[in-house]
Structure 1
């Protein structure tokens, strides 16, 4: 289920305005191939979007069992609804079906909503198993399963009331703890993002 990853130019090298950024480190972002295929060469105004390398997007979106993702109430209250939605539209995450390239370069239709529903079901099943048999071994297994499955935000949502499990999830996804985007005690999203690298237009959320 884990999507293939690809390195994306945030501001596309194919547009003359950003051609000089082709090999600039801060213009690279690791993302799934589905998002990259949808984004293509769309213009990205950094100040008009929420980006995971410079904003705390964990605070920006709500995930629900029906597979939908939408700007969160918190982001909306801070006046960031439009920025959050622009990012969804940029990557096609608000659509049920998107067209992406598979590992052979062929275009395929990807049902993102069904993917999120499937992962939500896995997370709920793991939560139920834990309720029946709460052991350290099972907790380690669930954290490993989450890492292999992806969809970090869904796992964090399903285990919203289990701080220990959320700590394990944070530690299972490389770089998440180091980002400083989650409180080390409560595991709640920290806002604004620490933006440790001082990236341009970072820390909007």
Structure 2
């Protein structure tokens, strides 16, 4: 899951209407769900980390530090689940990229490198938005599988990323091909899949980190090697940050 830096609030007070924060969030984080990472050109919503529907968090309804961006699937799964910041890894304050492994069959699993003390926190994040759900298979009248859910879409984008990698490998040193691959990644989202497919290519990984808004600023990647930095620097000094 892509770690991000949201940065300080663009205004001195809380938002009266939280939907007014959407433009600022998109400018800083891109048109991507902060959880499943897919690009959502429409219907991307301001997502409340600690849900506004619970009385305890009503004062945070307009609070900038309580906003991320969410797709309809992640939002509908998360709903009004109580989220305890200290018990859950979060992309705006932890190195969520280092916490999970992505696979060609659409699975997301906890990385073996996650210490025991952090494993429950990482698992809480996956279940919070349903990223540990199984694929929902749908075949059209020709027997072709249609990518309807997030698992199937991850599988589809993995294939696209592999094609891009083949083009890059076949044209070593060609900047235009590398730029084209980055633009394709931006168009589809799923940052962690692209980073995984290009795991052996520091140049491409650094290009991806630069291309996805808010990622480089998180400080979660070494600026030379592109390897994850742990714990997350938490540059915005958010509550219960740097857990991993």
Query: Is TM (by shorter chain) over 0.5?
Result: yes
After superposing on structure 2, the runs of 4+ consecutive aligned residues of structure 1 that deviate more than 6 Å are: none
The answer for the alignment partner of 2:4 in structure 1 is none
Q: TM-score, structure 2 length as denominator? A: 0.76
The answer for the alignment partner of 1:83 in structure 2 is 121
Q: Quote the offset at 1:80 in angstroms.
A: 1.3
| Structure with more contact order per residue of length (Cα contacts < 8 Å, sep ≥ 6) | 2
The answer to whether structure 1 residue 146 and structure 2 residue 168 are counterparts is no
**Alpha-carbon distance in 2 for matches of 1:83, 1:164:** 31
Tell me the SS of whatever aligns to 2:98.
coil
- CA-to-aligned-CA distance 1:66-116 (integer Å, 9 cap, x gap): 1100111111x3531111111100000010358xxxxxxxxxx94221111
* Long gaps (5+) in structure 2: 1-37, 137-146
Query: CA contact under 8 A between 2:50 and 2:66: conserved in structure 1?
Result: yes
Query: CA contact under 8 A between 1:180 and 1:190: conserved in structure 2?
Result: yes
The answer to whether structure 1 residue 118 and structure 2 residue 156 are counterparts is yes
Q: Quote the offset at 1:190 in angstroms.
A: 0.7
The answer for the alignment partner of 1:35 in structure 2 is 74
Tell me the SS of whatever aligns to 2:199.
coil
Q: Is the strand fraction higher in 1 or 2? A: 1
Residues 1-205 of structure 1 mapped to structure 2, 5 A cutoff: 2-3=39-40, 4=42, 5-75=44-114, 77-97=115-135, 110-134=148-172, 135-205=174-244
RMSD: 1.6
* Long gaps (5+) in structure 1: 99-108
Aligned residues: 194
Tell me the SS of whatever aligns to 2:70.
strand
Q: TM-score, structure 1 length as denominator? A: 0.90
Tell me the SS of whatever aligns to 1:79.
helix
The answer for the alignment partner of 2:22 in structure 1 is none
